[in-house]
């Protein structure tokens, strides 16, 4: 996303409230400028909902959605659903990392394995693996296991590919200078290649984590007994559209917060490289 905000602002040393405000003003203005389109969109929604052109039961006004959202947030069951979904996201993503990073390492450093496995990865990459879900449910049951497996399977691709790619495209100068200083193969790999590839590996994680969230919600909507996806379907089964909207809004909010948290984490962890735009799968 494009970075907003005024950039550097000179602050005079005779500080105080005024100077403080001067320093913050561009930031506040930027936030206001970003909120304005959102406010316009919400107002437009409210106008349509109240216009009488649409059935308010099908196209509920914001107040009704907010009320249902409020009730949803105070539902004692919510914790259980959040817990189930997050367990699946974390376990699936963690499994993909635990398998994918070592696999990427092997692919980048053992050519015969790479020649056998990489064409298969490329071949199966555009295949919607979700189609396997019903069989996973049959094999592993309707609980965590089937969902975690599919999440891990989906997350595996970006992680393996970016790990192998990152390790392969380490600047040769680094390798040469390390070799020159007497680093062996092992040292070269762990002390030069791995740190140099870290931003790439993280880029893979950044693509994979939202995928984990999406696939979790998806599988929970196909078949589950708890979780955020199930919550949406349960709300829609009540035939109260405002309640469905509230559940969707909750999932949207979580998705948005996760994205922001990940962006902030990247900003802190990998300070030496500007963020590239990721057209990730969402």
Q: Under the rule (CB under 8 A), what is the footprint of other proteins?
A: 1-2, 4, 33-38, 41, 58, 112, 115-120, 123-128, 130-135, 137-139, 210, 213-214, 217-218, 221-222, 229, 232-233, 235-236, 241, 244-245, 247-248, 251-252, 255-256, 258-259, 277, 279-282
Nearer to other proteins, 65 or 91 (CB): 65
Minimum separation from the CB atom of position 210 to other proteins (A): 6
Q: Are 199 and 221 in contact (CB under 8 A)?
A: no
Phi, psi dihedral angles at 9 (to 5 degrees): -125, 130
Alpha carbon 30 to its chain centroid, in Å, reads 25
Nearer to other proteins, 10 or 120 (CB): 120
Nearer to other proteins, 19 or 36 (CB): 36
Nearer to other proteins, 25 or 57 (CB): 57
Q: Are 278 and 206 in contact (CB under 8 A)?
A: yes
Burial track 44-59 (b if 16+ CB lie within 10 A, e otherwise): eeeeebeeeeeeeeeb
Query: The tokens of 150 are what?
Result: 């599919």
Nearer to other proteins, 126 or 182 (CB): 126
Closest CA to 170 of 139, 130, 201: 201
Q: Are 26 and 204 in contact (CB under 8 A)?
A: no
Minimum separation from the CB atom of position 14 to other proteins (A): 34
Minimum separation from the CB atom of position 124 to other proteins (A): 7
Minimum separation from the CB atom of position 20 to other proteins (A): 26
Minimum separation from the CB atom of position 278 to other proteins (A): 9
Question: What DSSP assignment string belongs to 103-143?
Answer: HHHHHHH-HHHHHHHHHHHHHHTTS-GGGGHHHHHHHH-SS
Minimum separation from the CB atom of position 169 to other proteins (A): 9
Query: The tokens of 18 are what?
Result: 């005024």
Burial classification of residue 101, based on how many CB atoms lie within 10 Å of its CB (0-12 exposed, 13-18 middle, 19 or more buried): buried
End-to-end CA distance of the chain: 15
Nearer to other proteins, 200 or 241 (CB): 241
Q: Write the CB contacts of 5 (distance below 8 Å, at least 6 apart in sequence).
A: 26, 27, 30
Closest CA to 120 of 160, 82, 90, 92: 160
Torsion of CA 175, 179, 185, 191, to 10 degrees: -60
Nearer to other proteins, 112 or 182 (CB): 112
Query: The tokens of 47 are what?
Result: 């106008």
Minimum separation from the CB atom of position 282 to other proteins (A): 6
Nearer to other proteins, 19 or 253 (CB): 253
Minimum separation from the CB atom of position 12 to other proteins (A): 30
């Amino acid at each position: 996303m494009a970075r907003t905000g005024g950039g550097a602002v000179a602050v005079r040393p005779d500080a105080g409230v005024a100077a403080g405000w001067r320093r913050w003003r561009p930031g506040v203005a930027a936030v206001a400028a970003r909120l304005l389109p959102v406010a316009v969109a919400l107002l437009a929604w409210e106008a349509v909902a109240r216009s009488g052109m649409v059935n308010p039961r099908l196209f509920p006004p914001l107040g009704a959605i907010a009320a249902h959202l409020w009730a949803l947030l105070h539902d004692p069951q919510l914790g259980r659903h959040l817990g189930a979904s997050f367990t699946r996201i974390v376990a699936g993503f963690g499994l993909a990392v635990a398998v994918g990073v070592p696999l990427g390492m092997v692919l980048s450093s053992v050519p015969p394995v790479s020649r056998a496995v990489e064409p298969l990865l490329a071949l199966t990459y555009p295949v919607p693996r979700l189609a396997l879900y019903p069989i996973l449910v049959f094999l592993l049951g309707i609980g965590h296991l089937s969902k975690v497996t599919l999440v891990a399977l989906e997350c595996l691709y970006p992680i393996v590919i970016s790990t192998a790619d990152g390790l392969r495209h380490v600047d040769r100068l680094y390798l040469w200078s390390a070799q020159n200083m007497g680093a062996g193969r092992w040292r070269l790999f762990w002390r030069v290649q791995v740190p140099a590839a870290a931003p790439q590996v993280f880029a893979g994680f950044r693509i994979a984590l939202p995928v984990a969230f999406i696939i979790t919600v998806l599988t929970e909507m196909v078949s589950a007994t708890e979780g955020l996806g199930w919550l949406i379907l349960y709300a829609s089964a009540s035939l109260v559209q405002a309640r469905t909207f509230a559940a969707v809004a909750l999932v949207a909010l979580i998705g948005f917060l996760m994205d922001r948290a990940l962006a902030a984490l990247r900003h802190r962890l990998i300070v030496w490289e500007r963020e590239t735009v990721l057209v990730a799968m969402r």
